């Protein structure tokens, strides 16, 4: 057994009749793929299963097997009372589940399975492993503990989660175990080329032009060794608010600059709501910087939100906090 709680989680799921599964806000392939792999397994156990998400799925995950079952719901109105268990995947905190910061957690037995180092461990059972690349890798190991048969569709969903959270096996979260898991999933029928095509070779031209705006605004703090860009709401709106553009831009442009250990992209996604995606190179831990701003995430990829401040004020606040953390760390490369 890889995980000591494997059996306990299996028993709880076997006992339940009606199981809810979440896909987190701003759904990414790890969140969707892990949820849909679990969906297929629990349906095969003859459970009533519903997969819920506060947002609609996007191009980068709508191609996944069973994606049609994901329902967009309003968490402030959702009735949890008829469900026995809420299986929460890939979510560091309750806000990530609901997409809002002010919805209370309902009274429902919750099993949390996640890999965020900043996890708030809000489940009744918490299986957190921050040493794996993705929740999908964790779910694979858990299914192995349970001796589950990996169908080609379960394998496709899990490999998509791994490829999404590792930037096609590029980020520092990839271990030899990740490669081993990916190899096995490919042998079970997962199509890596199809996954890469949909996640990384399918950006709209509009998104590309929006990234031009991000790059145009990029600044380099050479003393503190970071790069950053900040885009105000009116510009974001002019491009019809392209989804996931901040995260992808941060991944592509922030950790690749000579002389910078990390970087971040700030976008005012709603008026007076500034969202930030951090990415780092090598050993610089951006999850600490994000936590300093009330957010969280992983060592090399993290995020935060600043609310109720106008754009200039919010950007100033972020830079103040970031400078503090940047100076604490030593240069890494
Ligand atoms: Mn993840």
pLDDT per position as a tens digit, 262-300 = 999 999 999 999 999 999 998 899 999 999 999 999 999
Structural domain count of the chain = 2
The Å distance, Cα 166 to ligand 1 centre, comes to 9
Instruction: Examine the fold and report which residue of 141, 169, 200 is the final residue of a domain before the chain moves on.
Output: 200
- The pLDDT tens digits of the residues spanning 191-206 come to 999 999 999 999 999 9
Q: Cα(251) to centroid of ligand 1, in Å?
A: 14
Separation of 90 CA from ligand 1 center, angstroms?
5
Claim to verify: residue 214 and residue 318 sit in the same structural domain: yes
Ion ligand 1 nearby residues (CB, 5 A): 30, 90, 134-135, 165
User: What distance in Å separates the CA atoms of residue 77 and residue 75, rounded to the nearest whole number?
Assistant: 5
DSSP result, 51-100: EEESS---HHHHTSTTGGGEEE--TTT---TT-SEEEEES-SSHHHHHSS
Same domain, 184 and 247: no
Report the CATH number at residue 211.
3.10.310.30
pLDDT at 331 over 60: no
**Ligand 1 centroid, distance to 223 Cα (angstroms):** 32
Helix, strand, coil abundance in the chain, percent, nearest 5: 40, 20, 40
Domain containing residue 300:
205-328
How far, in Å, from the CA of 310 to the mean position of ligand 1?
Answer: 30
How many C-beta atoms lie closer than 10 Å to residue 76's C-beta?
Answer: 12
pTM metric for this prediction: 0.94
């Amino acid at each position: 057994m890889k995980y000591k709680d494997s059996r306990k989680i299996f028993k709880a799921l076997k006992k339940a009749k009606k199981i809810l599964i979440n896909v987190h806000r701003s759904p990414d392939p790890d969140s969707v793929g892990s949820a849909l792999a679990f969906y297929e397994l629990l349906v095969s156990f003859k459970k009533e299963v519903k997969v819920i998400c506060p947002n609609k799925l996007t191009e980068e995950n709508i191609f996944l097997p069973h994606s049609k079952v994901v329902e967009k719901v309003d968490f402030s109105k959702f009735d949890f009372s008829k469900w026995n268990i809420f299986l929460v995947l890939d979510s560091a905190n309750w806000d990530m589940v609901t997409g809002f910061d002010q919805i209370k957690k309902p009274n429902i037995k919750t099993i949390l399975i996640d890999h965020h180092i900043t996890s708030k461990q809000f489940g009744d059972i918490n299986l957190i492993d921050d040493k794996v690349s993705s929740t999908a890798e964790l779910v694979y190991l858990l299914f192995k503990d349970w001796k589950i048969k990996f169908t080609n569709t379960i394998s496709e969903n899990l490999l998509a989660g791994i490829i999404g959270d590792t930037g096609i096996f590029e980020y520092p979260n990839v271990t030899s175990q990740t490669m081993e898991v990916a190899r096995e999933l490919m042998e079970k029928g997962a199509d890596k080329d199809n996954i890469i095509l949909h996640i990384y070779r399918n950006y709209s031209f509009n998104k590309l032009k929006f990234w031009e705006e991000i790059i145009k605004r990029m600044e380099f703090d050479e003393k503190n060794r970071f790069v950053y860009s900040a885009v105000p709401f009116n510009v974001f709106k002019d491009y019809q608010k392209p989804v996931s553009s901040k995260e992808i831009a941060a991944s592509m442009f922030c950790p690749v600059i000579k002389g910078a250990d990390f970087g971040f992209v700030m976008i005012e996604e709603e008026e007076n709501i500034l969202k930030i995606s951090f990415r780092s190179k090598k050993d610089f831990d951006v999850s600490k910087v994000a936590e300093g701003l009330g957010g969280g995430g992983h060592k090399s990829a993290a995020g935060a939100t600043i609310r109720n401040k106008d754009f200039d004020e919010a950007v100033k606040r972020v830079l103040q906090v970031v400078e503090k953390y940047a100076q604490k760390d030593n240069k890494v490369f």
